[in-house]
Structure 1
Amino acid sequence: MSSTRRDFLSNTSKLLAASGLTGFTASPLLTGDDDRKKINTGKIVVALIGCRNMGFGDLENALKIPGVECGALCDVDSEVLQKRSADVMKIQGKAPALFKDYRKLLQNKDIQAVIIGTPDHWHCLPFIAACQAGKDVYVEKPLANSIAECDLMVNAARKYKRVVQVGQQQRSGPHWKQAMDFMNSGKIGQLRKVNIWSNFNYGVGQPKLPDEVPPAAADFDLWLGPAPQRSFNKNRFHGSWRMFWDYGGGLMTDWGVHLIDMALWVKGITEPPIAVSASGGNFAYPDRSHETFDTMSVSYQMKDYTINWEHTAGTQLGPYGRAYGLAFVGNDATLVIDREGWELFPELDNGKYKVAAMPKQAGRDSHEAHMRNFVDCIKTGKDPECTIENGRL
């Protein structure tokens, strides 16, 4: 174990041992209306922690908003860091400061907001540190890998009065809102259950590979961070880490987070289910490198409806000819939706539709709208579309 990792784990254990975050010393924060107005009239400087895929996509969306500037990037892989620095330079004509350690980045008082796009096992710690440092936070989903981590993050956000947007961007999507309004108007009748599925091929993992020496450009020790010590394997690193329990939860915590969120949102659910039952395992693809389940079924018993999750990784095609989606089953019709749009399947009564047929409603990407909502809330101090409490569900 390197001295960097040893020091990090020592400091982290002390931080997390502080019940209710009492170990933090509050920093000067931008919490008052006057301070938010100052942000509203000037530029907003953001930083990105975790620069590969989704994180950088989030940053690109932020930089499309007038008045937003990238002040810093942080990544444990120097090749990724240099590439993204060049990308940012092309976008804004100004190079960001570069860091390998997020703790040093957070010392920069000019940075007002942080985007966290790290692997899932690295969400909690920089999030808490960012809140303590007085930064508003856009954190990718899932919020964290455990309920305990989620609770620490909720406590930090509320203690330090931060604006937090969780990257469950469908809550900002116009066609998702339209579908929710349609169902809440009563047009599908009483909602009885929501069937959800996601069958993407990547859920089976990559062909197995032997362990090897970590790439020179990456600080693999720091990449592991709070996760258990492991030998380096490409299949547990960039691009496929989420198929291992140390870092992620497979299709369930990748797509399930997005889709199950919609099944909760339609009813405004804020409490846990009454009961949960689950089954599954790795029943296929023994030549593939993954720990998370390739086959899984979960049923959530809510107060007056049920939510059913299914994934069968590698089959790709699912119900209604869609690889993923939700089917909201009501007495009078079933509404089926994904990111491409939604459509209605009316029930019949004596050969007649219970609900008038309608053409498929088109959807569009909601990532930009979600980031714009976050930036607007930085200025106003209002709650964004997906609060940290929503993300914790």
Structure 2
Amino acid sequence: MTSLADRIAELDANDPLREFRDEFQLRDGLIYLDGNSLGAVPKATAAAMQDAVTEQWGEGLITSWLGADWVNSPRRIGDKIAGLIGAKPGEVIAANSTSVNIFKALGAALSLQKGRTVILTEEGNFPTDHYMMQGLECLSGGTVQSLALPAETVLDRLDEDVAVLLLTQVHYKSGVMRDMAAINAAAHTHGVLVIWDLSHSTGAVEVDLDGSKADFAIGCGYKFLNGGPGAPAYIYVAERHQHADAVLAGWFGHARPFAFEERYEAASGIERFLCGTPPILGMVALEEGVDLIAKADMRAVRAKSVALAQLLIELMKPLCEEFGFTLASPEDRAVAGSHVSYAHEQAYAITQALKEHDVIGDFRAPDVVRLGLTPLYLRYADIADAVARMREVCETRSWDRPEFRERASVT
């Protein structure tokens, strides 16, 4: 019978993505299970940032808007992201934050849905999705109604007064993955447009926006795209919807930004969903991350994600029985993204104690330990070692120290 150690060694030896790990800055001994919150830094990013600061900005100064092609970076990077999410060139632009892009997508969709007043999501969606919806309701003076319903009944509410359905493809807490094509079809039957939050999808699971007849999508650049903390986000607008109103009418979304006209006239394509001046240093880091993930076969990325999750769930089962963990993600990985969550009454303290053992996961209120699986730089051996360190934390009750119980401002 093959031992666990031999089995894991074989998995790592036959991993088609194993060489990607060397592309990232990761110190020896660290097991990083939080790349679904903040991706690791690619080694190439430091050199690219150095060049952007000392040469492009330092020497080129303002001439680098053209000389280093800064001006086209939102579209250039957007087209690269499009290749990762099943979109065509000209349907994605890198810009702003996820929250701002949600607002832009909601506003644009509403402009196409005259007479419809309800914007709909599921309870438990990521908070910023709710907040942007609530902000639009407030801005409209109540003309637009923001509505959140239980996940199991939200699709039953689709009817002729619903303008937009906003859903996350891979749920940030549980990892549950929704069937994009089926939901788009159901919504379109009722004339409802759909906005997809792909923050936990892009770079981790295969996405086919055009093939599934998606309308709008948004996502961040700092998780599986490894663009760095606060990296620019992106927005997808299907070509057929690009005549929608640009509700945040900033100068970079103007048809002729350097004509400096006082009356706004939106650009004709995806550029109308730009707003202010692009944050070039952030764009430089994001492009390095996107270029790196673009070198990988997304089918291999997804296959390894599933295999890593299956191994983690298998090895955690004894800890569930002995120490009270409860699997809070689907065991069937066909309907789950690239993280695995466990509920435990001491989830926060355990997450903090693990850091002392060089395992970084994260905590999601009220009681979830979330373990992110980033296939480009995680090894199967890392999963086995992480579970072994989790066992040590539980057996020794090292989590039961005051400093691990005190909630920090960032969890």
TM-score past 0.5 threshold: no
Larger relative strand fraction: 1
TM-score, normalization by structure 1 = 0.28
Structure (1 or 2) with the greater helix fraction: 2
